[in-house]
Chain A
Amino acid sequence: MLPHPEFAAMLLADGRLPVGGHTQSAGLEPALLGGLEPRDIPDLITTRLRTVVLVDAGTAVVARHRTMAGLPLDDVQLAWAARTPSEVVRAASIAVGRGQRRLAQRLWPGSAAASALAPLRAPARPVAVGSMAAAAGLDGARTARLVAYDDVQSLCAAALKLCPLDPAETTEWLLHAGPGVEAVVVAVAHLTEPDGIPALSAPLLEQWQHAHPTHPRRLFSA
């Protein structure tokens, strides 16, 4: 039996979900090492929601749709990879995607999600999240909201490790990101085809993230 969709969404959005998410900062540590001023972090959230998060949320929504329809996920993964040109950024996403798949197979063995994810060599995070959302009974809008919320939440959690901040302040950032998250939901919740996944890029974010493994002192893998 499927959990209530609100319950399922809370479960999947929990920052403590054991998929390895705590090892990444949603691009924040690369940005700070690249020269972003801490006062600009809320604006960085805006940029992410308008660009890379839109790509990931769209990918997840299409992966969810494909999983429900019993279709393979290869072309969703390819569409995501074509929108993620840096191999470093892809590898970081895949690291969590593999953890996500492991958990999906554990929580929903024998589900359409488990069988859709199994043949992929290494699923991207949004592909695995979208497929898992199908298993958990989330609709497209909840799937998009989950991806967007998780990105902002990860960034806010990482900010506390990286900058001297009052935890209430980062929680406030998260709250204020609400309208931006809903804009992502509106833009992608209806998508069903890989070609329709948004492709907005953030070239500077991408350069910062690509350079991350070359920094000698870092707390996060991405």
Chain B
Amino acid sequence: MSTTAVTVSTHTEVRTARVGLWPQDGRCRLELANGLVAPRVIRHDATTAEVSLVATTATLLGGDVLRLAVEVGPGLRLDLRDVAGTVAYHGRGLGCVVDVSLRVHEGATLTWAAEPLVVADGAEVTRQLRVDVAEGGRLLLRDQVALGRSGQDGGRLDCHTTMTYAGRPALVEHLEVRSGLAPGALGDARVVDSVTSLGWRPETPAGHTAYRLHEPGALSRQLLTQSHASTLPDLWDDWTSQLPPI
């Protein structure tokens, strides 16, 4: 395996940004903590909450570790969104890490329409995405990664994704994103746009393609030269509307 060795500075304390939604006394309680991103509550009622993630710094520089842990308690629904995309800048020899963990408990729902992670020239990013959906839980996730700001070739990104459903592996992938890969990997694409459902398998509307995962779940992915060409926003809306109410 050709995993790139990434040097990460360890002198700064890594704070984990957290969003937790837990049942309490017939209502639900939000647990929030700031890290390199800060959660802001948009809406919060008896069983659901909507939270947006705001960057607290110029975001990802060499040596940065962006750590985010999200957990949705049994029977509740959390809708997460980003205020803006994230840019990983030239690391001046240092790599950076995005480490995200999502846990969805029994009967809970998590949706997250993530904005793009853009890997600028000279950036070396390792992204760890760990997703655990308990039996009867549901996830809907949009995930966009892009090579380079305009006019750039872009740096190097390694996405390590492990998703489990009911404790069983559902989607495990090491996706390499960089220029110059041999034919069959990304082609001319600079953008990899994906929507994943896990714990449920929505109907795929006409004009879209989705893989049926071995576990209940689906993955629709587009490889694009321009992110605005993506039709996944339509798919996102369609799949979101298929989520049963809590």
Contacts and interface: CB of A to CB of B under 8 A. Distances in A.
A200 to B, nearest CB: 5
A13 interface: no
Interface in B17-51: none
Given A78-B169, A82-B172, A198-B174, A51 B185 contact: yes
B183 A82 contact: no
Nearest to B164: A82
Interface residue range, chain B? 20 to 34
Interface in A101-121: none
A31 interface: yes
Given A81-B214, A83-B173, A90-B214, A200 B183 contact: no
A204 to B, nearest CB: 5
Interface stretch (A42-50, A61-69, A135-143): A42-50
Interface in A183-214: 187, 194-195, 198-208, 210-211
B182 A44 contact: yes
A204 B186 contact: yes
A48 B212 CA distance: 22
Interface string B207-222: 0010111110001010
B214 A202 contact: no
Contact of A78 (B163, B168, B173): B168
A214 to B, nearest CB: 9
B6 interface: no
Contact of A187 (B1, B170, B184): B1
Interface of A is mostly: helix
A198 B186 contact: no
A166 interface: no
B245 to A, nearest CB: 28
Interface string A91-103: 0000000000000
Interface string A76-88: 0011011111110
Given A50-B2, A82-B171, A187-B1, A202 B209 contact: no
B24 to A, nearest CB: 35
A25 to B, nearest CB: 13
A208 B223 CA distance: 12
Interface string B171-206: 111111000011111110100100000000000000
Contacts of B2: 50
A36 interface: yes
A203 B183 contact: no
B212 A87 contact: yes
Contact of A85 (B160, B182, B189, B211): B211
B169 A82 contact: yes
A90 B138 CA distance: 24
A184 to B, nearest CB: 10
A83 B1 contact: no
A201 B169 contact: no
Interface string B102-117: 0000000000000000
A85 B1 contact: no
Contacts of A31: 183-184
Contacts of A198: 1, 174
A40 B169 CA distance: 34
Given A199-B173, A204-B223, A47 B183 contact: yes
A54 interface: yes
B171 A36 contact: no
A90 B184 CA distance: 18
A158 B123 CA distance: 40
Nearest to B158: A200
9 contacts: A43-B182, A43-B184, A82-B215, A83-B172, A84-B214, A201-B175, A203-B185, A205-B184, A207-B209
